[in-house]
Chains A and B, each alone.
Chain A
């Protein structure tokens, strides 16, 4: 091409102003529809109200997943569409699920408690592939698995294993455990006790928080007394609904750090995760939702991205094909945690690193160096294949 020809083309390009050159797409478009269903029960009044979970936590993650899939899909002639419902009651949610199934939506992300998820699994049968983006219940991964349910939310066991690994690595082995009274708190504490055993920690005190006083007035008076006892390296708090846990740091009898559901907490995601390109994901999310990305947002995003990735690779929109690929050996998701993520083929759990962070900073990302595994270090977090009674792939 000679220079004048080149210049003409440039002028032509400039004349079009901000018009973006459209990518090529195949003529026969392949499209995929997703459902997003959310219902979370009111968790009752909590003492710490400063940072409540956003009402659209999860939904915004799903939306970003769709938009990420779309950006990729337009180069391949694949389109992605989301139908979302935030239900006012469990019944309304289950009705919405039935309607989506009737409408032939084959991929549905659920942000619901474990007991609702069990009902949803029953209604679904083998009609759609469900993704659990919220419930951390261990038994859903351990004995009552469904071949049509995958979990992108980490289980309680994965979160507490991440924490216990870190405590073990730091050699902070004596733990003062405080748990709340809700079922979730008890489940978290149970998981932690198991993790403590797995990583050779000692729970030297194990107390339930039963006080009903308002800690904003008298935390400094009550918590030091409550945390008296044998010497300990760290206080671990199990307070899922954020009732009292935020008042524990700096109010312990001994000058000790606090971790668990507050203090240094383990979750699927944290705004301070920046490495491995995560800053770009955080920016995209912030631009869309005008808030930080939560663990539930991340789990919903990962579910939809996983399907998008499977569609890119299989060039299929057929649910059983996508499901087989997701549970197969070739699937890997680049999801900004520094390692490829994949699904455990025995129970459908997305294996993933777990960030440990306090409100404004990342402390570390489990699994930590030195915790070895014969297949992947990610399987040092949560229940491993021999411990689970589920065999989805068989």
Chain B
């Protein structure tokens, strides 16, 4: 708990003490265009498009927001994009078909799901050495690391499991079967709970991290939308513990969930086949990637309203937002 508090403080110091002149940018990976779209969060317009490796999907920012790590799935590599120069400066050996990944709070250990090989690869981003390869279920997909760095959780889509990996031993300590085709995991900011989406099950499962038991299942019912179109994928949780936002795939809606009572408060209509979501660091704005319609919806978190749609590349997949970079 102490470590978590200290880390949280550290994050606050590093991440949120944004200089006034900084420019907040969103990065969107376009799976079928092999590009990253850059959106200026002030004007909400695409200001640049950068060519990257083949089939970019999962993306994440380094803690200092200088680098963007990109899963170039069809190149079997993780690319490193320098956000200052907007050049790909390096690639990491990721194992085959990397889809999603998560960075340990130590900023070095990258946990990569290798979808075709039923493996999780742990990579040291500084030395580029593979630290471990952990056998998991079929089609590993989602990856999450707890804020305190103790757990790495991987979802296997066809085995329908959450694999809890001890980040010190790189061994699986627990497997939890949840709904069909688990896609994405997200720890609450206090590490007390894990939220996990099950795409085909149409559910979100809440796991108590202390006991490693499921404590709640969330169902979604959108009037006028056929139940088997409700396919939860991306999840974002606000740091104040108030809201969870869940992308519902081909149901074309974002569910707004009360993160305390697990009650669904609202459904917001966005673009077609909404996959991933990202909160801006100030948590005032939520972006969604809409795969089929090729755009990004902008949601005002205070009003819980979609305020704009931004056209990006073909099949936008991942999205990350910086608090600000020196320009």
Contact = CB atoms under 8 A, between A and B. Distances in A.
Interface of A: 1, 6, 9-10, 13-14, 18, 20-24, 68, 71-72, 75-76, 277, 280, 283-284, 309, 312-313, 332-334, 338-340, 376-378
Contacts of A21: 132-135, 170-172
A376 B172 CA distance: 38
Interface in B200-233: 200-202, 226-229
B180 interface: yes
Contacts of B295: none
Contacts of A72: 137-138, 156, 158-161
Interface residues of B, number: 43
A22 B138 CA distance: 15
Given A71-B118, A340-B180, A277 B157 contact: yes
A75 B140 CA distance: 14
Given A72-B161, A312-B160, A313-B177, 5 more contacts: A20-B135, A24-B172, A72-B137, A72-B158, A309-B160
B66 interface: no
Given A10-B131, A24-B173, A377-B226, A333 B168 contact: no
25 contacts: A10-B124, A13-B170, A14-B131, A18-B133, A20-B119, A21-B170, A24-B175, A71-B118, A71-B138, A72-B138, A75-B175, A277-B157, A277-B181, A280-B139, A280-B158, A284-B116, A312-B160, A312-B177, A313-B177, A332-B201, A334-B158, A339-B229, A340-B180, A340-B228, A376-B227
A76 B168 contact: no
A280 B115 contact: yes
B261 interface: no
B250 interface: yes
A280 B113 CA distance: 13
Given A20-B134, A312-B160, A334-B180, A76 B175 contact: yes
Contact of B163 (A13, A68, A75, A312): A75
A334 B200 contact: yes
Interface in B115-143: 115-116, 118-119, 124, 129, 131-139
B196 to A, nearest CB: 15
A309 B229 CA distance: 21
Contacts of B137: 71-72, 75
Contacts of B132: 13, 21
B131 A13 contact: yes
Contacts of B199: 334
Interface of B: 97, 115-116, 118-119, 124, 129, 131-139, 156-161, 163, 168-175, 177, 180-181, 199-202, 226-229, 250
Contact of B139 (A13, A14, A277, A376): A277
Given A72-B159, A280-B116, A20 B133 contact: yes
Given A9-B169, A332-B201, A338 B250 contact: yes
Contacts of A309: 160, 180
Contacts of A18: 133
**Residue among A1, A76, A280 having the largest count of chain B Cβ atoms under 10 Å:** A280
B176 to A, nearest CB: 10
Contacts of B119: 20
Contacts of A332: 180, 200-201
A376 B228 contact: yes
A71 B161 CA distance: 11
A313 B131 CA distance: 34
Nearest to B150: A1
B135 A14 contact: no
A309 B157 CA distance: 12
Contacts of A377: 226, 228
Contacts of A376: 226-228
A308 to B, nearest CB: 9
Contacts of A378: 228
Contacts of A312: 160, 177
A71 B158 CA distance: 9
B168 A9 contact: yes
A76 B131 contact: no
